Amino acid sequence: MIEQITAVSKGMYTEGTSHDHKVIIDEPANMGGTDKGANPLATMLISLTGCENAIANFVAKEIKFDLQGIEFEVKGEIDPRGMMGEEGVRPYFQKITVNAKVSTSESEERVQELQQIVDARCPIYTTMVAADVEMVANWTKA
């Protein structure tokens, strides 16, 4: 499987296209952007939730889990000095906390089973782990 996108950028604004779907990434005005889309770091966190949700739905079918929906709240912690070029400060997230409320008739133990399988198989989650980002996953029954 190969994923491919096209993108056109002007200033801080980027419009990407994937399979005829447009995604706008921008920065707020105080960062030199036009504020017409989420910033790249927020977009990455949204992508993480989309990936976790997709994998959760695949896994739920495999393990016969009653998945009715997931509400995510994700927080990424980053030291902006790294993005600005300060040596010795990494320019990517140090820590990401994923709080997920799973709507289900399943037990809390089954929610934890789902979370463990999803985190092990989600390409974006595992990429963050491989980059040595501290990942904190808190999945609970809604």
pLDDT tens for each residue of 112-125? 999 999 999 999 99
Which CATH number does the domain 40-141 belong to among 3.90.1170.50, 3.60.20.10, 3.40.50.12160, 3.30.300.20? 3.30.300.20
SS3 assignment for the chain: CCCCCEEEEECCEEEEEECCEEEEECCCHHHCCCCCCECHHHHHHHHHHHHHHHHHHHHHHHCCCCEEEEEEEEEEECCHHHHCCCCCCCCCCCEEEEEEEEEECCCHHHHHHHHHHHHHHCHHHHHHHHCCCEEEEEEEEC
Mean local confidence (pLDDT), 8-15: 97
Determine the pLDDT at residue 40: 96
pLDDT tens for each residue of 41-53? 999 999 999 999 9
pLDDT tens for each residue of 54-76? 999 999 999 999 999 999 999 99
Domain residue ranges in the chain: 1-37, 40-141
